[in-house]
Amino acid sequence: MEYSETVIEHYTNPKNVGKIENASGIGEVGNPVCGDIMKMFIKVEKNIIVDVKFKTFGCGAAIATSSISTEMIKGKSIEEALQLKNIDVVKSLGGLPPVKLHCSVLAEEAIHEAIADYYRKEGKLTEEAIQQRCKLKDSHCEHCKTLT
């Protein structure tokens, strides 16, 4: 398996690692097949993600996708962050081996889950509206089937 220089950089020197105390939203997702677990923390002020951190237990690709996705949403509005797709993460990393594409899906889903948590804490949207807006899925594995 060959990784791009960007993947290696984000794996060996990940950005935004850690936890945000009193986070505006927290999202945690995992893949039971490979064991990867991602937890994203966002701090939102005036609809802007002013800080984002992650903790990931998993392979190098999982850490790299977590790292770069936090860089991609930091400073963005909630709506802009919700537009981030796993393919954007893959492109920003310079590609991933097909067997590791699920890591990019986890990163997208962790962000969506953190935003959903933020919306729940705000109490301004119904659960149905949150589900639709954040495009929450029961399992990312269905996404993986379409990517490989």
- Per-domain residue ranges for the chain? 5-147
- Enter the DSSP assignment of 17: B
Which one is catalytic: 59, 103, 134, 141? Answer: 103
Q: Does the active-site annotation cover 34?
A: yes
At the second CATH level, the architecture of 5-147 is Alpha-Beta Complex (3.90)
> φ and ψ at 21, to 5 degrees?
-70, 140
* Among the listed residues 54, 47, 65, the one whose alpha carbon sits nearest the alpha carbon of residue 6: 65
Contact 74, 54 (CB under 8 A): no
Strand ranges (E), the chain: 25-30, 37-45, 48-57
Cα-Cα-Cα-Cα torsion 107, 109, 112, 114, nearest 10 degrees, comes to -70
List the chain pLDDT tens, one digit each, 148 residues. Answer: 789 999 999 999 999 999 999 999 999 998 877 788 999 999 999 999 999 999 999 999 999 999 999 999 999 999 999 999 999 999 999 999 999 999 999 999 999 999 999 999 999 888 998 988 888 765 444 444 444 3
59 in active site: no
The model's pTM: 0.89
Chain-centroid distance, C-alpha 58: 14
- Token pair, residue 51, equals 């800080």
